[in-house]
A and B are shown apart, each in its own frame.
Chain A
């Protein structure tokens, strides 16, 4: 299966900004931040089309997101995921002595994941952040 080695960027989008106002657990919010913007040519190479699920992986983990064409392309080898709990799953916490983890410009890999589903926020929390109890 083809894999894309890419640079992962995260950031704000106006959708993420407005939809979060409907509540973090709303479906609208989930839809606005579980996307991965990929260059249209890269999508072809990966064999995915708009709205297909993809797996995005870094050295800190992986997450399933929905592929969308990045606007105003070309942006070869650059992928964009809006801030949010899904993007955080694959962020590295090393700050190199600055207090700031590398939240933009991480090396990442993208591959198609047609069988996988995008977790809901509750499922995500259940899976990755289960509370330990004494």
Chain B
């Protein structure tokens, strides 16, 4: 039995690096420090994985040797006129580097999953810029934490504990105690209310004013948390202020904030369902803080407005810097989606949706992005790595994806691997293979190898390297 510490967690964009695992006979038996999702990954990854490559023959996926699967993949890609290479956010930067070389060699379009998560954020950044930082900066200094359209409690379970409200910094203290006592208060209050209702058979209970900023925050000089979302999430419940936004109206609200920050007067009573008075109060809190941070999630990028929501948010934060220090950060989903953007950018100049078909990088989301290419049915082959587009792409695009030859590099049984023509299960990166990945704030950290992979499984990087070599061999033979 060995205990290994300081493991990085290959699940979400927080990419915690303090995980401790216990390994017995090449099996992970215990996990410490991880959140529920992280622990589930370490403990269950092996239970439903595949180890043997598969090739579709006569409509059925049958076991094949690795060499066969590599050769078949190379043939598909070498033959294609407009192949698509998609995924890259759940693998190492080392694998992505080879992937880019492969995409260039086969003249394809290479795109990562940010195309359907924070792609709009990148478009916004390219128009406005971004005032950002690494997470420690916030831990030490931020006294105002604003989550907009993101729900760390569910999507980034340790975010609040490691980087924001519940962490001790040099200049800011944790608000954990405050939260616990308040939570206690709320529960007691709810219980009393329920009892009262039962006894008195009253009108429907009046909602308890926890979120609208009054009782708990009045004398609080410490860290404050504001949440804006279309639904009241668990994160929202922990906030000092909660702004419930009408769906698809975030843009209006953000722009209204920008106007208030400029000391402008709004001609309306409410914006996106939020009373202007409350907006004014929150705007004052934003201007008055020492260092504020604005975290935003897919609630902004995936709803109407998309990159323009981000445009407005980035502009708001930029404008706030005339009064105080304000920073902003996208809440990235996969553990290495940031890394995929980073590697794409240093090799091609563009972070996603890179079309290499003409021998040099071209970029124009909407034109060279995966969903659009598939919707218009332009590609004639695809390689998918570490992603499950069949489960997550809109139906029509997913249907078009499987109208052409499909290669899937994935250790798991997923809808995509089930529908692919070639399936190559690799070693699990971050568990069975090492590499580099980037946390959501661009801090690079090592992915570790904790246990040995099954004999038949190579790392993503090696598989791609072998496909690339095979493609080059085919090309040489043709010339």
Contact = CB atoms under 8 A, between A and B. Distances in A.
B62 interface: no
Nearest to A14: B154
B288 to A, nearest CB: 28
Interface residues of A, number: 52
Nearest to A19: B40
Contacts of B44: 21-23
Interface in A86-109: 88-105
Contacts of B232: 72-73, 75
A73 B36 CA distance: 25
Contacts of B116: 99-101, 103
B419 A24 contact: no
B302 A93 contact: no
B304 A23 contact: no
Contact of B248 (A95, A96, A105, A129): A105
A97 B366 contact: yes
A74 to B, nearest CB: 8
B125 interface: no
A34 to B, nearest CB: 13
Contacts of B392: 83-85, 88
A68 B59 CA distance: 39
Interface stretch (A4-12, A44-52, A111-119): A4-12
Nearest to A70: B231
A84 B59 CA distance: 25
A100 B47 contact: no
A96 B306 contact: yes
Interface residues of B, number: 69
A12 B365 CA distance: 24
B248 A7 contact: yes
B394 A98 contact: no
Contact of B302 (A25, A75, A84, A103): A103
B388 interface: yes
B115 to A, nearest CB: 5
B233 A72 contact: yes
Contacts of A102: 302-304, 306
Interface stretch (B93-101, B193-201, B264-272, B409-417): B409-417
A94 B247 CA distance: 19
A11 B465 CA distance: 35
Q: What are the 3 A-B residue pairs with the smallest beta carbon separation, nearest first?
A: A99-B369, A99-B365, A23-B48
29 contacts: A11-B298, A14-B36, A17-B155, A19-B40, A21-B44, A22-B40, A24-B415, A60-B395, A72-B232, A75-B231, A84-B392, A88-B391, A88-B394, A91-B393, A93-B397, A95-B365, A97-B365, A98-B307, A98-B369, A100-B115, A100-B119, A100-B120, A100-B307, A101-B371, A101-B394, A105-B303, A125-B419, A129-B390, A129-B415
Given A72-B233, A103-B302, A104-B230, 12 more contacts: A12-B333, A14-B37, A14-B153, A19-B40, A24-B415, A85-B391, A85-B392, A91-B393, A101-B371, A102-B306, A125-B419, A128-B395
Interface of A: 7, 9-14, 17-19, 21-26, 60-61, 70, 72-73, 75, 78, 80, 83-85, 88-105, 121, 125, 128-129, 131-133
